[in-house]
C-alpha cells in the first residue's frame, strides 16, 4: 500500500500535515513509512499502510475569513444595509479577498437577536488576516450607524 500512497501525492516533504491527530512537518517519505517532526521536536514514524486521513495545511485554493455578528432583530433592515456596504467596500480595502463576502443568516431564526454571517473567501493561508480586517470594518460601520452588537 505504500507505493499507492506515494502516487496519490497527498503530501510531500516539507509540508505541514496532521496524521492520527498529530501535526508536524514531513521530513521523509519512503515506500513503507512517513517521518513527521512535531513542533515539540518529536519524530513520528508512521506506517503508510495505516494512514487513512491526512489534513494538509500546505495545500488549498482558499481559506475562510468568515465573521459572525449578532444584532438586534428590530434593526434588521439597517444592519443589512450596513453589512452590504461593508461587503462592497471590503473588496478594495482587503486585497487578500478572492470575492466580496456573502451575507447570510447563520440559522434562519429570528428572535430578539439575529446572527448574520459574512462568508468570506480569502487567498489560501490569509483567512486570519481577512477575518481581522472584516471584524474591524464591521465594528466601525455598525458603531457609526449606532447599532449595538451582541446581547
Q: Provide the greatest CA pair distance for the chain.
A: 62
**Among residues 143, 137, 10, 16, which one has the least CA distance to residue 65?**
137
Q: According to the model, what pLDDT value does residue 22 have?
A: 93
In this predicted structure, what is the pLDDT of residue 106? 59
pLDDT digits (tens, 9 = 90+) for 26-66: 999 988 999 999 999 999 999 998 898 899 887 878 888 88
- The answer to whether 124 touches 60, Cβ cutoff 8 Å, is yes
- Tell me whether strands 33-37 and 43-47 are parallel, antiparallel or unpaired: antiparallel
Reported as a single tens digit per residue, the pLDDT across 74-126 is: 888 899 999 999 999 999 999 999 999 999 875 666 778 888 899 999 988 78
Q: For residue 71, what is its C-alpha cell?
A: 444584532
Quote the pTM value.
0.64
Instruction: Report the run of H or E that residue 133 belongs to, with start and end.
Output: helix 127-144
Distances (CA, A) of 88 to 26, 82, 94, 140: 40, 10, 11, 15
- How far is the C-alpha of 58 from the C-alpha of 29, rounded, in Å? 16
Q: Is the pLDDT of residue 147 over 70?
A: yes
Mean pLDDT of the chain: 88
Amino acid at each position: 500500500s505504500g507505493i499507492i500512497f506515494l502516487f496519490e501525492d497527498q503530501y510531500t516533504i516539507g509540508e505541514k500535515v496532521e496524521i492520527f491527530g498529530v501535526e508536524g512537518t514531513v521530513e521523509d517519505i519512503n515506500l513503507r513509512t512517513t517521518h513527521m517532526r512535531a513542533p515539540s521536536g518529536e519524530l513520528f514514524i508512521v506506517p503508510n499502510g495505516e494512514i487513512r486521513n491526512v489534513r494538509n495545511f500546505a495545500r488549498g485554493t482558499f481559506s475562510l475569513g468568515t465573521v459572525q455578528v449578532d444584532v438586534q432583530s428590530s434593526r434588521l433592515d439597517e444592519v443589512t444595509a450596513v453589512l452590504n456596504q461593508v461587503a462592497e467596500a471590503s473588496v478594495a480595502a482587503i486585497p487578500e479577498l478572492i470575492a466580496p463576502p456573502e451575507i447570510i443568516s447563520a440559522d434562519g431564526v429570528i428572535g430578539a437577536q439575529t446572527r448574520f454571517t459574512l462568508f468570506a473567501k480569502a487567498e489560501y493561508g490569509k483567512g486570519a488576516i481577512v477575518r481581522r480586517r472584516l471584524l474591524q470594518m464591521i465594528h466601525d460601520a455598525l458603531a457609526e450607524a449606532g447599532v449595538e452588537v451582541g446581547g
